[in-house]
Amino acid sequence: MENRRLATAVKMSVRQRNYQRARGRALVKLAKAHREEYRLYFEQEKLNDHTQGKTWIDIHGNTTSSVDTHTRTDTNRSKTETTQTSNQSRASNL
């Protein structure tokens, strides 16, 4: 009985994964074919999420509000400061 349940779960998992992959490819093709409409719908959905208080999360797990507060120069400056600090600590260890 346990093996049957496991086999059914595996089949459903594979079916769902294949569906999601095909759906993703279809959405990409649709977005390329109707670029302006896609952008319009995307902006509407983003605004709708914002008005409902839903946060957008990027691939690194950051919300859009924290991403919007950083500028390119700030991130470059912090990387330089981090590099200098680590170089100084390495030099003091010698």
pLDDT for 80: 52
| Cβ–Cβ under 8 Å, residues 56 and 65 | no
pLDDT at 56: 80
Q: Is 39 helix (H, G, I), strand (E, B) or coil?
A: helix
Which of 37-41, 81-85, 89-93 comes out lowest in average pLDDT?
89-93
Query: Which amino acid does the sequence have at 5?
Result: R
**Residue 56 CA, distance from chain mean position:** 9
How does pLDDT run across 49-74, given as a tens digit for each residue?
989 988 887 777 776 554 444 445 44
11-48 pLDDT, tens digit per residue, is 999 999 999 999 999 999 999 999 999 999 989 999 99
Q: How high is the pLDDT of residue 54?
A: 86
b or e along 52-73 (b: 16 or more beta carbons within 10 Å of the residue's beta carbon)? eeeeeeeeeeeeeeeeeeeeee
